[in-house]
Amino acid sequence: MLYTNSLIQEAAELCSMTGDGEAVDGTTAASYLNLLNRVLHRLNNDSYFSSCIDTVVCNAAGEIQFKKLEPDEIVPDGVTIINMEPPEAVVGVSRRVGIRWLELYGSNPQDMAAVTSMTLPTHFCYQVFTETTPHDHTPDNRLVGKITLNGTGRADIKVFLNRRIDDLKLTDAIPLSPIYHDAILYSLAEAACIKYKLSDYLTEIRDQKNAALAMIDRNTLNNRMMENGTRCASSWDKAYYDGLAGNGLVIE
């Protein structure tokens, strides 16, 4: 099990911010904790933690929203809302076609706005924004994640997302496998070197970080869930389901 205080202590010793066995405390510990939370969010957003990848399946047309609903909040008709905090990142979206899942291609809002909408979706984009919650007397803002699909045809959609990691406290355990120890440690040490201008240690620590991330990349590729069925080897029914996919089919 990984713990925040032990990682912070080890990172501070790597950078010679403190001597061996000398405890990191006070404002220095708080600063390192802030750096550690930022490092964890960045690594998760970059999909290094395969254990944080979840899937959500829903039936949707046009868009899917992720947001925490208020008690008794009414969802408008025709709107697909997943009652959860927006994911750190969406790593893939697929549409059901018979017994297979057809991968949708990642795009950007500008390109999405330029395509015809009366089709089954073939592309998606993901954005996060804030909106005002529907409190009558105490309005507040909340994060909303929105997947926009380039087709209004209703379909079963599978979303592959990076589960959000909550900010940690100094005594918290990090809910990740020990295999990520070096990647987190050297990423934290690198961030500390940059913040505190410790150039004498930066190159060596960065090399160690890159090596640890390369190892995680190999492990992640071996353990990542399949995001769709289109990258598999050809099968006898491939032509049939490719024809059934309906790409560009106008929905009346």
Which pLDDT belongs to residue 135? 72
Are residue 200 and residue 134 in the same domain, yes or no? no
Which pLDDT belongs to residue 68? 92
Domain-located, residue 61 = yes
Identify the H or E element spanning 215.
helix 199-223
Domain-located, residue 250 = no
Q: How far apart are CA 33 and CA 214, in angstroms?
A: 24
Which pLDDT belongs to residue 3? 93
Segments of the chain with pLDDT less than 50: 222, 224-236, 247-252
Strand order of the β-sheet with 63-67 is 53-60, 155-162, 89-97, 100-106, 123-132, 141-149, 63-67, 80-83
Are residue 16 and residue 71 in the same domain, yes or no? no
Which pLDDT belongs to residue 71? 87
- Give the range of the structural domain holding residue 59, as residue numbers without chain letter: 53-163
Which pLDDT belongs to residue 137? 58
Which pLDDT belongs to residue 94? 95
Burial label for 234, CB within 10 Å (0-12, 13-18, 19+), is exposed
Domain count, the chain: 2
**pTM of structure:** 0.76
Are residue 159 and residue 59 in the same domain, yes or no? yes
Domain-located, residue 219 = yes
Are residue 208 and residue 134 in the same domain, yes or no? no
Are residue 11 and residue 96 in the same domain, yes or no? no
Asked if 151 contacts 119 with a C-beta cutoff of 8 angstroms, the reply is yes
Domain-located, residue 182 = yes
Do strands 123-132 and 63-67 pair parallel, antiparallel, or not at all (unpaired)?
unpaired
Which pLDDT belongs to residue 191? 96
Domain-located, residue 154 = yes
Give the 3-state secondary structure of residue 220.
helix
Which pLDDT belongs to residue 246? 52
